[in-house]
Amino acid sequence: MSDSGCKHGFYLTTPIYYVNDVPHIGHAYTTIACDALARWHRMRGDDTRFLTGTDEHGQKIQQAAERRGVTPIELCDEVVMNFKKLWDALGISNDDFIRTTEDRHVKVTQYFFKALMESGDIYKGSYEGWYCVPCETYVPDAQIGDDKVCPDCKRPLTRMSEESYFFRLSKYQGALIKYYDDHPDAIMPKARYNEVISFIKSGLQDLSISRTTLKWGIPVPGDERHTVYVWLDALINYISAVGYPEAGEKWESCWPHVRHMVGKDIIRFHAVIWPAVLMAMGLNPPVRVFAHGWWTVEGDKMSKSKGNVVDPFEMVEVYGADAFRYFVLREVPFGNDGDFSELGMMNRINSDLANDIGNLLNRTLQMIEKYRDSRLPGASVLERARDVDFALRDMALRTMSEMDSHMADFALDAALKSLWVLIGAGNKYIDETQPWKLGREDPDERLDIVLRVLWEVLRLSAMLIYPFMPETAGRMHKQLGLDADVSAERHSEWGWGTYAADVTVKKQEVLFPRIDAVKWKEGYDARFRARMALLNPDAPPPTAAAFDTSHKEQVEIDDFKKLEIRVARIESVDMVEKAQKLYKLKVDLGFEKRVIVSSIREFFTPEELIGKNILVLCNLKPAKFRGIESEGMLLAAEADDGHREIISLAAVDDGFPVGSPVH
Ligand code: MSP
């Protein structure tokens, strides 16, 4: 089953975010991905609704509020603003924002509870078990070791016993398996589908869905000593936001088409508990639950103490919302885990955005400006197009349908890759047709045709880029001389050469200025230091460098003379696959060139190294790193500046002859 057949309803939700913390890249990622999908579907002409919101009840929030000395709702009101501000900064186009503390949600949750009590799917019993407070969940005995820590978050569990209401989850085991047999695309990617199926098959137990120990939550109707379990409360948001139980237009147009986007850590809540509850209510389960992967940061798990939590506000400020959106969606196959690095982002901005799309727009507009006084040749010139022009047109049309089928599978990265193949082909078309040679006077209109073809490719690219980079698409549209708002474009109305109005292009500032690697590194280091200083105000100031003070035994001059140290120039710097810390350097020693593998990647960008005159120990026995033979070692000073390790390469003045010996 593919989504692409569905022309009408597309109701997409993000998880609702806990308000006990500031938003980070994980939250931003889910929401950006949903935003791109929602915008795509609006352009397809689908009846689209996109929901996000906040999960405000539960022990975690209660405890966070206590620590801050405020009431839970005061904490929620404050933190919810951070999320709303972030969605504004990232250009998120959600149609609604639900908070679980809102009346509309509380009412529906209580309605659900009551209805399920009446149907017998909720019953009263008692529960004893090991509870993880941070995860708000009882952990089954089978998953607990002697250390009594939570298998997910590794924090200590608390033994709890309480009277509880239970949901008859076990009753729905067969129905769930049947549903997933019939709808193999209802959980994606496939690995998650298999994981959920084997979990269901391993046997489902009834689920405790109320707490007497928790005050901050929705009271169980008719038994107010109990509070509804926060996960049940949270899941119901998807339904309370679309007007259930009133059978209104919003409800009818949304619920049969509901798709949930979640992180892989919360797949079971969405693909096991939630569909069972819906079945018990006589409602259709989600059409799809898609679980995306998790981000690490420069090879490490994100953690406050490491100072490596990626703050999306900062990313927007430094790189711009669209570049950040593009990077997270393009970098990792959607569904897989990924590693975030600002260096990677800078490189991608320079290559994909400044170079590829930026150049295509710039070169095209420059030529229309120069050769045709900014006036776009009329569409009728396309009637005299040649094979090379038709080939690009066919590719453009193919790109749109290829992207549509990738988007139907939520393969956002693949959709972007398709589009970049077209953009690359556009640049190549310029190189091959060489419009500058066709010149100002052009009897056979060849130049007109080429310029119009390029403009058509760019007009299509602006529309196709819009879901991913809405602001950029708007800027492209304006520069291409199109008056209507790009968001009003519809795939079905777009056609090659069908835009008949007179167009004057308006070249403006470049879309993405190239980032200078040296300046970037300075900014990056400064931000890192500021973050660490904020986190750890007692740490020694950055000037108080610490270094290894253990001394080595004395040596004779002859010992030193055994070392052959020479000046070398760094000629090229390459990454070493699957080695985050290594660079493969090619250095020139004057009399020969050598390869040196060095673990300095985290300290320097390639641009900072290339051309530098450094000191190399050249008679060190060669050694292999990741299969690459290293034929020397570069010399560097090493210290700790109070926040992290720093190094400085031993170097000589620029222009000093390479190969010179060092005594
Ligand atoms: N409140 C629940 C969801 C209830 S939905 C009915 C919750 N909230 S959360 O704020 O902790 O997490 C929200 C989302 O952020 C999850 O989908 C989670 O996977 C995602 N991420 C949190 N850290 C992440 C990364 N490091 N990388 C990618 N996404 C991650 O869970």
Instruction: Using CA atoms of 484, 490, 493, 499 in order, give the dihedral in degrees to the nearest 10.
Output: 30
Cα separation, 454 vs 496, in Å, equals 11
- pLDDT per position as a tens digit, 483-499: 899 999 999 999 999 99
- Residue to mutate, 27, 55, 277, ligand 1, most ligand atoms under 8 Å from C-beta: 27
Residue at 264 is within a domain: yes
Q: What pLDDT sits at residue 638? A: 78
Distance 17 CA to ligand 1 centre (A): 7
Distance 277 CA to ligand 1 centre (A): 21
* pLDDT of 416 above 50: yes
Greater confidence (3 vs 511) lies with 511
Residue at 387 is within a domain: no
CATH for 576: 2.40.50.140
Give the residue from 236, 269, 292 where a domain finishes.
Answer: 292
Instruction: Using CA atoms of 139, 140, 145, 147 in order, give the dihedral in degrees to the nearest 10.
Output: 30
* pLDDT of 354 above 90: yes
CA atoms within 13 A on the CB side of 535: 15
Over the chain, what is the mean pLDDT?
91
How many Å from the N-terminal Cα to the C-terminal Cα in the chain?
Answer: 73
* pLDDT of 2 above 80: no
Cα separation, 600 vs 614, in Å, equals 13
Global pTM reads 0.81
Q: What pLDDT sits at residue 558? A: 87
* pLDDT of 422 above 50: yes
Q: What pLDDT sits at residue 1? A: 33
> Strand runs (DSSP E) across 450-513, as ranges?
none
Give the residue from 292, 318, 342 where a domain finishes.
Answer: 292
**Cβ–Cβ under 8 Å, residues 609 and 596:** no
- Residue to mutate, 17, 87, 277, ligand 1, most ligand atoms under 8 Å from C-beta: 17
Q: What pLDDT sits at residue 4? A: 40
Which structure tokens are listed for 466?
Answer: 């819009």
Distance 265 CA to ligand 1 centre (A): 7
Greater confidence (306 vs 280) lies with 280
Question: Which residue's alpha carbon is at the smallest distance from atom 9 of ligand 1?
Answer: 17
Distance 335 CA to ligand 1 centre (A): 14
Residue at 245 is within a domain: yes
Which structure tokens are listed for 311?
Answer: 């703050």
* pLDDT of 437 above 90: no
Residue at 82 is within a domain: yes
Average pLDDT score over residue span 544-565: 79
Average pLDDT score over residue span 19-42: 95
Average pLDDT score over residue span 556-561: 88
Q: Phi and psi at residue 619, in whole multiples of 5°?
A: -105, 25
Q: What pLDDT sits at residue 248? A: 86
Own/partner long-range contacts of 179-186 (Cβ < 8 Å, ≥24 apart)? 179/275, 179/279, 179/285, 183/1, 183/287, 184/1, 185/1, 185/2, 185/288, 186/271, 186/285, 186/286, 186/287, 186/288, 186/289
CB atoms within 10 A of CB 291: 24
Report the nearest atom of ligand 1 relative to the CA of 17: 10
Which structure tokens are listed for 545?
Answer: 């460098």
Which residues constitute the domain of residue 51? 10-292
Report the nearest atom of ligand 1 relative to the CA of 27: 15
**Cβ–Cβ under 8 Å, residues 596 and 630:** yes
Q: What pLDDT sits at residue 21? A: 80
Share of the chain above pLDDT 90, in %: 73
Total count of domains within the chain: 2
Distance 376 CA to ligand 1 centre (A): 48
* pLDDT of 34 above 80: yes
Share of the chain above pLDDT 70, in %: 95
Q: What pLDDT sits at residue 7? A: 47
Distances (CA, A) of 231 to 46, 101, 107, 211: 30, 14, 16, 12
Residue at 304 is within a domain: no
Residue among 226, 232, 231, 230 nearest 213 (CA): 226
Residue at 526 is within a domain: no
Distance 27 CA to ligand 1 centre (A): 6
**Cβ–Cβ under 8 Å, residues 395 and 425:** yes
**Cβ–Cβ under 8 Å, residues 607 and 517:** yes
Which structure tokens are listed for 95?
Answer: 């149609």
Report the nearest atom of ligand 1 relative to the CA of 21: 10
Question: Which residue's alpha carbon is at the smallest distance from atom 30 of ligand 1?
Answer: 26
Distance 182 CA to ligand 1 centre (A): 28
Give the residue from 229, 258, 292 where a domain finishes.
Answer: 292
Residue at 263 is within a domain: yes
Q: What pLDDT sits at residue 5? A: 38
**Cβ–Cβ under 8 Å, residues 461 and 423:** yes
Cα separation, 663 vs 652, in Å, equals 13
Report the nearest atom of ligand 1 relative to the CA of 295: 27
Distance 24 CA to ligand 1 centre (A): 10
- pLDDT per position as a tens digit, 138-170: 888 888 988 999 988 889 999 988 899 999 999
* pLDDT of 454 above 70: yes
What is the CB < 6 Å shell around ligand 1?
Answer: 15-18, 26-27, 29-30, 55, 234-235, 262-263, 265-266, 294-295, 302
Cα separation, 512 vs 497, in Å, equals 28
* pLDDT of 570 above 50: yes
- pLDDT per position as a tens digit, 581-594: 888 999 999 889 99
Distance 31 CA to ligand 1 centre (A): 10
- Residue to mutate, 13, 21, 25, 30, ligand 1, most ligand atoms under 8 Å from C-beta: 30
Q: What pLDDT sits at residue 310? A: 92
* pLDDT of 104 above 60: yes
Peptide linkage before 72 cis (omega within 30 of 0): no
Q: What pLDDT sits at residue 608? A: 79
* pLDDT of 368 above 60: yes
Question: Which residue's alpha carbon is at the smallest distance from atom 7 of ligand 1?
Answer: 17
Residue at 340 is within a domain: no
Greater confidence (426 vs 308) lies with 426
Distance 309 CA to ligand 1 centre (A): 14
Question: Which residue's alpha carbon is at the smallest distance from atom 18 of ligand 1?
Answer: 263
Where does the pLDDT of residue 548 fall: very low under 50, low under 70, confident under 90, or very high at 90 and above?
low
CB atoms within 10 A of CB 232: 25
CATH for 117: 3.40.50.620
Cα separation, 481 vs 259, in Å, equals 37
Residue 309: strand, helix, or coil: coil
Where does the pLDDT of residue 549 fall: very low under 50, low under 70, confident under 90, or very high at 90 and above?
low
Place of tokens 């190239």: 514
